[in-house]
Structure 1
Amino acid sequence: MMRMALHTLVGTVLLGLVLFGPAGTLAWPEGWWFLALFIGCGVAIGIWLALTDPGLLAARMASPFSADQAPRDRVVMALIALAFSVWLPAMALDARRFGWSHAPLWTQVLGAVLVLAAFAGWVWVLRTNSFAAVTVRVQTERGQTVVSTGPYAFVRHPMYAFALLMLVGTPLLLGSLWGLAGLVLFVPLLAARALSEEAVLTEGLDGYRDYVRRVRYRLLPGIW
């Protein structure tokens, strides 16, 4: 719980800096709404995991850049982190400082709904799969098995699938239509992470090959 509190504090400060610094003002209601939703939902999920599945909470708080990760996966995660560090300030510049694009109120409401839907989807994933760590490895110490129920019955990587809702909802909520261009960066990176994860699980997790044959799609049913 202390680690989670520290992570939350540091994350809130960093998120606030990358949003409100480029915005050039604290008078940005959409930025505050996003910060409240993102941090509030994250804290709620953390407390829930601390009470119901502390092992998964510890796995979710591990570093994705640890030495036991494949170099390819560390590169992908570094690129995702870099993309976020550019994407969020760019949306602040667009939506608040310069007003390059203008989003009507209904799109901002839709964005908030999509952000909440992403968090609800992640809760569904975490309830279904106690091995949904941020690192890509077979968790033999926790007796990892193949999970094929819940959202995993539809796509092989539902955590990343629900991330797409966040990637669409965030720019809409912040009022930055140009922020939707971030999908051009994030979709290939999420696809690369999914492929990296599948390579590890296919090689080391019993039954995963059969699961791949049963569930055809990785992120979007009927598409990929």
Structure 2
Amino acid sequence: MGLALDLLVTAVSLAIFAQHIWALRGHFVSKTINRGAMGIAIMANLCALWFLVLTWTVEQPASAQVLGLGLELLSLALFWWAVKASRAASLRYVFDEGAPATLVSTGPYALVRHPFYTSYILYWAGWTIAAWSWLGLVPLVIVVIAYTVAARFEENLFARTGMAADYVAYRNRTGLFWPRLIGRS
């Protein structure tokens, strides 16, 4: 069962990663890929290579691989829900300095302000669990930091638009990456 699960983890993880890559040209609309977006892309590719190595060199319990796959599939569902909700919004690449054109607050955006980043974090967390090595925690922490910096950067862009007051109200009712339970995030 080990080889079959390793193959399944590899196939599912790479298929989801390919859909994230598709979003660069198929969903987001910046004119050029800025240095920050290029850095995120390089980071993601290096993480994928790292997790492939871990998947094929570390012995994982089947339960960890199944749990990790489940989390990756959950991330994929969130990713496509975010695509559907933001299809008409003309979202830009990460770290694009252009002012946001719209404030999306439907679909997963009604729960969290950055559902794409949440889906990416869930994806990498799933692969970390499936790889079942403490060595997977290093890239996971780097990914979480990178997407947190990106989210805060994008939130600061709203402060310079006519949507600033609407964004503050939106921010007060939604969580950054996770649905708001209590308090302010």
Normalising by the residue count of structure 2, what TM-score does the alignment of the two structures yield?
A: 0.73
Q: Which residue does the alignment assign to 2:71?
A: 114
- Correspondence for 1:207 among 139, 153, 163: 163
Q: Which residue does the alignment assign to 1:18?
A: none
Are 1:219 and 2:171 an aligned pair? no
Any unmatched runs of 5+ in structure 2? none
2:13/2:127 contact within 8 Å kept: no
- Correspondence for 1:168 among 125, 142, 159: 125
Q: Which residue does the alignment assign to 2:112?
A: 155
Q: Which amino acid aligns with 1:209?
A: A
Q: Which amino acid aligns with 1:212?
A: V
State the identity %: 24
**What is the root-mean-square deviation in Å for CA atoms of aligned residues?**
3.5
CA pair 113-187 structure 1, distance change in 2 beyond 3 A: same
1:103/1:177 contact within 8 Å kept: no
CA pair 63-33 structure 1, distance change in 2 beyond 3 A: farther
Are 1:104 and 2:61 an aligned pair? yes
1:146/1:208 contact within 8 Å kept: no
For residues 63 and 119 of structure 2, what CA distance do their matches in structure 1 show?
21
User: 1:138 Cα shift?
Assistant: 4.3
For residues 146 and 58 of structure 1, what CA distance do their matches in structure 2 show?
20
CA pair 154-198 structure 1, distance change in 2 beyond 3 A: same
Q: Residues 69-148 of structure 1 correspond to what in structure 2 (within 5 A)? A: 69=34, 74-75=35-36, 77-97=37-57, 99=58, 102-130=59-87, 131=89, 133-135=91-93, 136=96, 137-138=98-99, 144-148=101-105
Are 1:37 and 2:12 an aligned pair? yes
Which stretch shows the higher mean deviation, 154-163 or 34-43? 34-43
For residues 9 and 90 of structure 2, what CA distance do their matches in structure 1 show?
25
For residues 19 and 144 of structure 2, what CA distance do their matches in structure 1 show?
27
Deviations 1:62-102, CA, capped at 9 Å, x for gaps: 578x26x5xxxx33x343334334333333444433x3xx4
For residues 192 and 118 of structure 1, what CA distance do their matches in structure 2 show?
20
1:167/1:180 contact within 8 Å kept: no
For residues 30 and 11 of structure 2, what CA distance do their matches in structure 1 show?
24
Deviations 1:152-206, CA, capped at 9 Å, x for gaps: 12221111112111111012234444213322211111011112212223323x4
2:82/2:116 contact within 8 Å kept: yes
User: 1:134 Cα shift?
Assistant: 4.5
For residues 94 and 170 of structure 1, what CA distance do their matches in structure 2 show?
10
Q: Per the alignment, in what secondary structure is the counterpart of residue 133 of structure 1?
A: coil
CA pair 148-91 structure 1, distance change in 2 beyond 3 A: closer
Are 1:192 and 2:152 an aligned pair? no
Any unmatched runs of 5+ in structure 1? 1-26, 50-55
Size of the alignment, in residue pairs? 175
Deviations 1:14-42, CA, capped at 9 Å, x for gaps: xxxxxxxxxxxxx9655532342245457
Q: Per the alignment, in what secondary structure is the counterpart of residue 82 of structure 2?
A: helix
- Larger of the two Rg values belongs to structure: 1
Which stretch shows the higher mean deviation, 36-45 or 146-155? 36-45
